[in-house]
A and B are shown apart, each in its own frame.
Chain A
Amino acid sequence: MTRVEVDRDRCVGSGACEALAPAVFEVDDDGVLAVLRPVPGEDDLPDVRDAVAACPTRALALDD
């Protein structure tokens, strides 16, 4: 089971993750990142891995 971890001290709500994996990430109306599916399904995983790699503040990690 793979879980998405967010380092809240690093996240600035840039939304880079949302652009790549909108089913899993969403910057909400307060500018705070919401993880819609903390344990993404197999189908979402490739996009989620891209999003983790693309995070401009390295705030995302996958706990495999």
Chain B
Amino acid sequence: MAVDTADAPLDLDSIDLSDPEFWVASPARRHAVFDLLRRERPFAFFAEPVIPMLEPGPGYHAVTRYADLDAISSQPAVFCSGQGAVSITDVPADLNEFYGSLISMDDPRHAKIRRIVSKVFTPRMLEQLMDSVQLVVEDVLDAARRKAEDGDGSIDVVADIAAPIPLRIICDLMGVPESDRALVLAQSNIVLSGGDPELIEDQDDPLTAFLEAGMALAGVMERMAAERAERPTDDLTTALVRSEVDGERLTSAELASFFILLLVAGNETTRNAITHGVLALSEHPEQRARWVADPSLTRTAVEEIVRWASPVTWMRRTATQDGELNGHRFRAGDKFLLFYGAANRDPAVFADPHVFDLGRDPNPHVGFGGHGPHFCLGAHLARRELSVTFRALFDRLPDLEVTGEPDRLRSSFVNGIKRLPARLTGTL
């Protein structure tokens, strides 16, 4: 076991959610901190983390209670996204929109663009994809088996299972050619690295690395969009290039930023949900056995994995006016970080919130976001990917055994795992 400070006493005034080290502490430690904040200081105020070359802003309130988080999410006119939903510190408007796309937009523009893209993410569209999700998953798991057999039986759950599945599905959806896929994975990793030193080499200038990664991804999309405009296919890129709302089409900048959104939001979130799920099932073998024996548990099991993992740690909202929320007075311009993982362990909503229970029902988790217009566009796709992946894991890699500690991403934004060592015991 790694040495940890989980047993050290907690002191409210020494908690600092802006300290990058907090985010690599063990989940037990982080949840203990959130439990304390939720109970004692539900709108705790923190100074902003320092990012080289950006002016730090006035600070933010950490929202940890479910009721507060959901109230903020469902009042987008009072708590807006357009000033930045994925960055604590304000960034220039064009950058904000480029990297945030829909996530950092407010109505009426958000509603218009969401309509263009939502039609390709409906349950019906996904039904047509069902075979391909199954085929991709089986293919990836078979490759993991071959790798274990060719070597000493060991695999990395992240690199060999959790990363390639959503990457291939998103790339298939968008029609990204095979030759660009390695680049797409590497660059989307950088965009969502949260500044982790393993992914951002120049720690004095992380912004340049983010910008270059974004430009590389935009370049791939621009080329694909031009090709599809000439030669339409049946992929999502073609649908996006051709679709219009109120006579307007997406501009090439909007297309590029939506592509980045899909890549980063569609890859990393599902990847981490799969990895956290594998880890949780390994730590709770009785739950795993229960799910293996009862496929009808899949619906609630997938929701519990999303609650447990809460792959996106926070989104930001900014008050557009003065007001009061559940006893807390706020001013226009105040920033709120919605901590989804904290709300997902709120005992006011979840009985025994720290218990991993695949049969939990109801499970009104906010792992896909609170009620409101920014609810995860890819929720259906993610549920489908998780359902197929875990059932296929039980069928094809029943001997998968986690053999070491997860290597955690040093990011406050994504609850990421970089590596999770495992082996296939049947190959030895």
Contact = CB atoms under 8 A, between A and B. Distances in A.
Contact of B118 (A12, A22, A26, A58): A12
Contacts of A56: 368-369, 371-372, 375, 379
A7 to B, nearest CB: 12
A18 B118 CA distance: 13
B111 interface: yes
Contacts of B377: 14
A31 B371 contact: no
Interface residues of A, number: 19
Q: On chain B, which size bracket covers the interface?
A: 20 to 34
Nearest to A15: B122
Contacts of B373: 10, 12, 57
A16 interface: yes
A62 interface: no
A10 to B, nearest CB: 7
Interface in B107-128: 111, 114-119, 121-124
B123 A15 contact: yes
A28 B117 CA distance: 12
A10 B74 CA distance: 10
A32 to B, nearest CB: 7
Interface string A21-56: 010001111111000000000000000000000001
A12 B374 CA distance: 9
Nearest to B377: A14
A30 B114 CA distance: 11
A53 B336 CA distance: 26
A36 to B, nearest CB: 12
Interface string B304-327: 000000000000000000000000
B380 interface: yes
Given A12-B111, A16-B379, A58 B123 contact: no
Interface in B368-399: 368-369, 371-373, 375, 377, 379-380
A31 B372 CA distance: 17
A48 to B, nearest CB: 15
A57 B372 contact: yes
Nearest to A10: B373
Given A12-B114, A56-B368, A56-B369, A27 B375 contact: no
Contact of B119 (A19, A30, A57): A30
A29 B118 CA distance: 10
B116 A18 contact: no
Contacts of B369: 56
A54 B343 CA distance: 18
Given A56-B368, A58-B74, A13 B123 contact: no
**6 closest Cβ pairs, A-B complex:** A56-B375, A31-B119, A13-B118, A15-B122, A31-B115, A27-B122
20 contacts: A14-B375, A14-B377, A14-B379, A15-B118, A15-B380, A16-B379, A16-B380, A18-B122, A18-B123, A27-B118, A27-B124, A30-B119, A31-B114, A31-B116, A31-B118, A31-B245, A32-B115, A56-B369, A56-B379, A57-B373
Interface of B: 74, 111, 114-119, 121-124, 245, 368-369, 371-373, 375, 377, 379-380
Given A10-B373, A27-B122, A31-B245, 17 more contacts: A12-B111, A12-B114, A12-B115, A12-B118, A14-B379, A15-B122, A15-B124, A18-B123, A18-B124, A26-B124, A28-B119, A31-B114, A31-B115, A31-B119, A32-B115, A56-B372, A57-B372
